[in-house]
Amino acid sequence: MAVPTVPPRSDAEQIAALLDSPEIDQLVTVLAATRWTGRPGYPIRAMVGMALAKSLYTLPTWTRTVALVGEHAALRVAIGCPDSADVPSVHACYRFTAKLRKFKPLLDACLDRMTAALHEQIPELGSTVAIDASDLPAYGNGQRYLYKGGPERKTYSDPDATWGHRSAVSTRAAGSFYGYKLHQVVCADTGLPLAWRVETAKASESTFAMPLLDAVKARGFRPEIAILDMGYDHTHVYEGCEQRDCHPIIPLRETPAVKAGKHKPPVCEHGEWTFAGAETKRRAAKWRCPTGECSPASRWIGASRLHTLIPRGTARWKKLYRLRGSVERENGRLKNEWALSPLRVRRIERVRLHADLTILTRLAVALDKARAVPLAA
Ligand SMILES: [Zn+2]
């Protein structure tokens, strides 16, 4: 594979700015305090700089990252090793990732600082969120047979990966794949990831919707609306959202109740009843006889899967559901612009770290931009 062309100097300046941000500087400090147990030498700041460079330059491997930094003088200066002989080795990068896995709470705290700082810059961040899962095919073969009609595979190179289903995107059809899924909550207005987790591919996505929403709230966000696709159309998701003071926007699957029309507005001899507003505290929506001749002329219907507080037929619901594209676009961005995929690591803990570092860089750059150009109040 060809070595990537050397990017302009501004990207090196970007990395220097990220390393100097208080959020990442603190990560460097706390990691340094744990003491470097491996071979002595590379400073933690340079190692964090390597990790940022890997995502920023969309590089799938440490080998290519080390090669890029080695031939890029400005980048070497940015991470603090101007002499090319001092550039961290590929093995040092692997030892660093092992250290990060061991000290995961320190990285988690850095991600918490990052989302909090973004929230400070963008006060409305996370008030409307979109949740979805995206496929991350494993770096390994999951076929059960070594070849067609051949013997069964005895060992799998990535035993944590499993077979799961992915939905269609523009470039390929839906189908099964072997690997992992990134489940994430993004801010529907900015696309920024607010909470995420990597799980094995076969795990059902609706299982993680509430833990993710809780993680978003634990980071200080107050999501009022959550937009999800049909894969999350389960009673427990609706109830969980409302219990968290968040209105779910989810299309209905064709279940027997839906086929029987139980999701439709009430009707009377005067016609179909109209929506007359919802009360969040009451967790119910008011519906009214179209002519007001019924007695009573209106009644409350409690929030449920079939009758949501933002009713599916309304213009507001349709407008909100269109924001679901934000999470799909973010999945694409992380994969194509920040090197989230293709995976070049095996085992779920390594895939999780890879996702964390990718999103850390993505958020750090967004924060840097937000600070440089404060949004108009
Ligand atoms: Zn009526």
Reply yes or no on whether the pLDDT at 23 is more than 80. yes
Task: Give residue 3 CA to ligand 1 midpoint distance, Å.
Answer: 72
Residue 171 has what pLDDT? 76
pTM for the structure as a whole? 0.91
* pLDDT tens for each residue of 324-347: 999 999 999 999 999 999 999 999
Backbone angles phi, psi at 193, to 5 degrees: -65, 135
Q: How does residue 103 score in pLDDT terms, banded at 50, 70 and 90? A: very high
Task: Give residue 270 CA to ligand 1 midpoint distance, Å.
Answer: 5
Task: Give residue 255 CA to ligand 1 midpoint distance, Å.
Answer: 28
- 260 burial (CB, 10 Å; 0-12 / 13-18 / 19+) is exposed
Nearest to 328 by CA among 174, 208, 170: 170
Task: Give residue 262 CA to ligand 1 midpoint distance, Å.
Answer: 18
Mean pLDDT rounded to a whole number for the chain:
91
Task: Give residue 274 CA to ligand 1 midpoint distance, Å.
Answer: 10
Residue 7 has what pLDDT? 46
Give the span between the Cα atoms of 353 and 27, in whole angstroms.
15
Q: Are 180 and 161 in contact (CB under 8 A)?
A: yes
Reply yes or no on whether the pLDDT at 5 is more than 60. no
Task: Give residue 303 CA to ligand 1 midpoint distance, Å.
Answer: 22
| Cis peptide preceding 211, ω within 30 of 0 | no
Task: Give residue 21 CA to ligand 1 midpoint distance, Å.
Answer: 63
Picking from 62-71, 123-132, 168-177, 264-273, which range would have the lowest pLDDT averaged per residue?
A: 168-177
Task: Give residue 298 CA to ligand 1 midpoint distance, Å.
Answer: 9
Task: Give residue 266 CA to ligand 1 midpoint distance, Å.
Answer: 10
Q: Are strands 247-249 and 225-227 parallel, antiparallel or unpaired?
A: parallel
Task: Give residue 288 CA to ligand 1 midpoint distance, Å.
Answer: 8
Residue 137 has what pLDDT? 92
**Position with higher pLDDT, 376 vs 194:** 194
**Position with higher pLDDT, 139 vs 364:** 364
Residue 39 has what pLDDT? 54
Task: Give residue 273 CA to ligand 1 midpoint distance, Å.
Answer: 7
Residue 325 has what pLDDT? 95
Task: Give residue 177 CA to ligand 1 midpoint distance, Å.
Answer: 52
Reply yes or no on whether the pLDDT at 63 is more than 60. yes
Q: How does residue 40 score in pLDDT terms, banded at 50, 70 and 90? A: low
Task: Give residue 301 CA to ligand 1 midpoint distance, Å.
Answer: 16
Give the span between the Cα atoms of 160 and 42, in whole angstroms.
32
Around ion ligand 1, residues with a beta carbon closer than 5 Å are 268, 270, 289, 294
Nearest to 110 by CA among 191, 192, 195, 30: 30
Note the maximum CA span of the chain: 86
Reply yes or no on whether the pLDDT at 2 is more than 70. no
Q: Are strands 175-187 and 162-166 parallel, antiparallel or unpaired?
A: antiparallel
Q: Are 195 and 209 in contact (CB under 8 A)?
A: no
Q: How does residue 9 score in pLDDT terms, banded at 50, 70 and 90? A: very low
Residue 297 has what pLDDT? 95
Task: Give residue 286 CA to ligand 1 midpoint distance, Å.
Answer: 14
Q: Which amino acid type is present at position 17?
A: A
What's the average model confidence in pLDDT over 24-41?
80
* pLDDT tens for each residue of 297-326: 999 999 999 999 999 999 999 999 999 999
Backbone region of residue 261 per phi and psi (left: phi > 0; alpha: psi in -120 to 50; beta: other values):
left
Reply yes or no on whether the pLDDT at 293 is more than 50. yes
Residue 1 has what pLDDT? 46
Task: Give residue 268 CA to ligand 1 midpoint distance, Å.
Answer: 5
